[in-house]
Structure 1
């Protein structure tokens, strides 16, 4: 993996460099917000993972995250933040981050989060459509909705749902693969994020909110809230 770590605390970077080397990963460290963004923009296809501190000199991490998402909707982003405010974490997830780790953190915890996120990204990249052409190229297909895990594309009433991040796509795929089945937040955390969040349900809610905004740009809402339980996919009323 090629990791871009944008982190102004040199002690944290030096500590993580040892762990990255132990995993056989290449890492580039930037201690300034603008320099970090410039490094990403110079070679956006190079990076397999971005870890991004929110409190940075010259440019705030939230701004950097949004700028990265304008260029790439697929590169995994993990926020590193000392902020314990729920609103900061939710805003960070809504701006396009796939995960977050709150400081102080264990290096092994960050390594585990990176591996889980990268593993999901690799599965998404290598998964192929079913055999055959035409509509058979879609792995999920209902009356009004189609998904292709190889191209990472989703369509509602024939219109492409644009700008899906890796986690948003995986979340939509998990729900749409079993229409009308209700998933609890805990189930979605385990299925989509690949590890336990120990009750951190706002992660799911933030991604659902962003995902709904993108779906509504092309058609009726197909992700329904089941109050007191969780969420389900239902496109039965999605006619246009």
Structure 2
């Protein structure tokens, strides 16, 4: 059993890894972290220690682990019922990150293969560019709707449509612009961080793991450019 908390993690994140399970939780404050740590040291059951929002991941359900050595993050992909889910562990420094990754890697032993996946700038930027595209279009769309409501009013049909119109009417054009601007600015900052420091992953996986090459990146950007053209025509 290994525990990472306090100065080893970001904020009040608390991680417990046993031979069978990964527990990922976030306490309200450092005092609660210390209480949880004391209880675990006294062999109390983890289920009686963590909050109701704890993420419990059984190692038998894990299909992939992606460790970003540039950002000290470990993303665990696992099966949650019939669907696939993921959870990320954030570490404050390289030492705690390497400690956690090494411990988890040893738990899987020869069951998982390790692959290095180095991102270049185009590959690192792709997801953020998609986010900017979607959020930018939604901001424009909701701003147009808010402006139309202010000018002409609205008579939506259906309960969901009425709730959406009521929400947009409450925000108004100014509210939509402010919220949309904050989201876009946050996404842009994240994009810049990805460009300045492209991720470098150590990927633990079972079976084959295909690192996407130049051809895949080109195809992805062609699709993105086509979407940009369609959206620009819709906005004009």
> If the TM-score is normalised by the length of the shorter chain, which range does it land in?
under 0.3
Q: Name the structure with the higher helix share.
A: 2
Give the TM-score normalised by the residue count of structure 1.
0.25
